[in-house]
């Protein structure tokens, strides 16, 4: 789940919360779970975060709620994405899943959880058990949580937002009949089938992200390119998970925050713009390729004293800019290039190298690579300071 959220957050602002009656949101209200209550929750979160428009992502049992929100608030929901769900929960094969999960949680036996989650520290298992108990909608002792009565069949034709219906090839939670009902009922809808057993989390990550990016950056409400050439820089912390395991969440997050502050200060001094931080990485843009490379090399110098190391990827082009964010092929390219690097390296596209020729940098060919999502192979280079630039000066 975390991998999906982090990857999507490279391209969009990702907001996730537990709906009432699930997870850390605790027990449902006395009146139970309803469309109106769930919709109010979404709207409350949107208002708290000052979100004026949003993409409603409805997964499995919350699919009908996402549909209903799109119908009731067309001013708020610009796009609708439905993953392995259907218009009527009673028709979805959720019962077998609920019974299986109930059987495990109902035992209340810590050793059984230890067998299911062998890497979880023993002291954390009681908390894990409580979390599992609290995250079930359909357990009979808490029947007010039951969502299986929710049905949006009659209002599908009222959805005005462009809609993407995603179904996994081996879905455990829906079938072709339910998918067909959504597509035939929602006027402006399209289908994507991806490998996996449950979208978006138990599906092929690259397929999911490609489906979302292509859907949300084309068609209705498409942001327009300003034809402005930018150099896009992606930073990515190496072995960040190991740092969290070693230092703990709080100390690890402090280390990440220190790096984010470092990036903010250096990017500002090099006339760059931090678009967003991504937990263990950041996205920064520059109007000047020379300044972008100088920033990246200075950042790597500063990172030598940090408890975690970094790799940096860079590409140049004309991204789509919208509401302070950037999207498009050049953004994806920079992200993929960052994945190729090792700790301490700055890897750049051929377009970046060409724009920086004659400047105070040297470029060593890393090779011809095939980046995911791009048909043609591309040359990538390792950027360093020129030998003359690196020599100390005596004045």
- What does the pLDDT read at residue 116? 62
Q: How far is CA 204 from CA 70, 86, 169, 231, in A?
A: 27, 21, 10, 29
pLDDT tens for 191-204 read: 888 888 888 988 88
Q: Taking the alpha carbons of 199, 204, 207, 209 in that order, is the dihedral positive or negative?
A: positive
- What does the pLDDT read at residue 47? 87
Which of the residues in the chain have pLDDT under 50?
137-145, 219-225, 390-395
Q: In sequence order, which residues have a C-beta less than 8 Å from that of residue 10 and are 6 or more positions away?
A: 234, 278, 281, 283, 331, 335
Is residue 32 within 8 Å of 116, Cβ to Cβ? no
pLDDT tens for 265-315 read: 899 889 898 888 876 788 999 999 999 999 999 999 999 888 788 999 999
Where b means 16+ CB within 10 Å and e means fewer, 101-129 reads: ebeebeeeeeeebeeeeeeeeeeebeebb
Token pair 């990246």 in the structure block, residue: 296
- What does the pLDDT read at residue 287? 92
Q: In sequence order, which residues have a C-beta less than 8 Å from that of residue 112 and are 6 or more positions away?
A: 104
- What does the pLDDT read at residue 358? 84
Does this model's pTM top 0.95? My answer is no
Of 149, 198, 209, give the one whose Cα is nearest residue 10: 209
Side-chain-side CA neighbours of residue 104 (13 Å):
19
Is residue 64 within 8 Å of 87, Cβ to Cβ? yes
Q: Tokens at residue 350, please?
A: 């051929």
Is residue 3 within 8 Å of 117, Cβ to Cβ? no
| Residue 309 dihedral angles phi and psi, to the nearest 5° | -105, 175
Max Cα separation, the chain? 81
Measured in residues, the chain has a length of 395
Residue 389 region by backbone torsions, left for phi larger than 0, else alpha for psi between -120 and 50, else beta = alpha
Q: Three-class SS of residue 290? A: helix
Q: Three-class SS of residue 201? A: coil
Between strands 346-349 and 378-385, the pairing is antiparallel
Terminal-to-terminal C-alpha distance of the chain: 56
Of 263, 241, 262, 264, give the one whose Cα is nearest residue 253: 241
- What does the pLDDT read at residue 223? 43
């Amino acid at each position: 789940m975390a991998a999906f959220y982090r990857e999507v957050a490279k391209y969009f602002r990702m907001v996730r919360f537990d709906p009432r009656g699930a997870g850390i949101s605790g027990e449902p209200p006395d009146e139970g779970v309803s469309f109106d209550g769930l919709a109010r929750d979404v709207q409350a979160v949107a208002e708290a975060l000052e979100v004026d428009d949003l993409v409603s992502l409805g997964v499995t049992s919350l699919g009908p709620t996402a549909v209903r929100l799109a119908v009731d608030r067309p001013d708020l929901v610009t796009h609708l994405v439905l993953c392995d769900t259907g218009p009527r929960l009673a028709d979805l094969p959720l019962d077998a899943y609920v019974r299986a999960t109930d059987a495990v949680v109902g035992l209340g036996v810590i050793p059984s959880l230890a067998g299911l989650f062998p890497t979880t520290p023993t002291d954390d298992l009681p908390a894990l058990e409580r979390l599992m108990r609290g995250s079930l909608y359909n357990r009979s002792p808490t029947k007010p949580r039951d969502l299986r009565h929710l049905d949006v069949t009659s209002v599908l034709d009222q959805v005005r937002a462009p809609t993407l219906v995603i179904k996994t090839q081996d879905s455990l939670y829906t079938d072709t009949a339910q998918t067909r009902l959504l597509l035939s009922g929602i006027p402006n809808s399209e289908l994507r089938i991806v490998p996996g057993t449950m979208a978006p989390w138990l599906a092929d990550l690259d397929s999911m992200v490609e489906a979302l990016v292509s859907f949300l950056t084309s068609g209705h409400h498409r942001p327009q390119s300003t034809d402005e050439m930018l150099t896009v820089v992606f930073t990515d912390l190496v072995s960040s998970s190991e740092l969290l395991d070693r230092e703990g969440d709080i100390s690890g997050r402090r280390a990440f925050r220190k790096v984010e502050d470092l990036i903010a200060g250096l990017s500002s001094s090099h006339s760059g713009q931090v678009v967003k931080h991504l937990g263990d990485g950041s996205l920064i843009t520059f109007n000047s390729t020379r300044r972008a490379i100088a920033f990246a090399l200075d950042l790597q110098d500063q990172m030598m004293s940090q408890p975690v190391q970094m790799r940096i990827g860079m590409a140049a082009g004309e991204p789509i800019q919208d509401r302070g964010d950037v999207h498009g092929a050049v953004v994806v390219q920079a992200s993929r290039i960052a994945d190729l690097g090792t700790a301490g390296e700055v890897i750049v596209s051929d377009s970046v190298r060409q724009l920086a020729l004659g400047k105070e940098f040297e470029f060593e060919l890393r090779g011809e690579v095939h980046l995911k999502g791009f048909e043609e192979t591309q040359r990538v280079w390792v950027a360093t300071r020129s030998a003359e630039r690196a020599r100390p000066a005596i004045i």
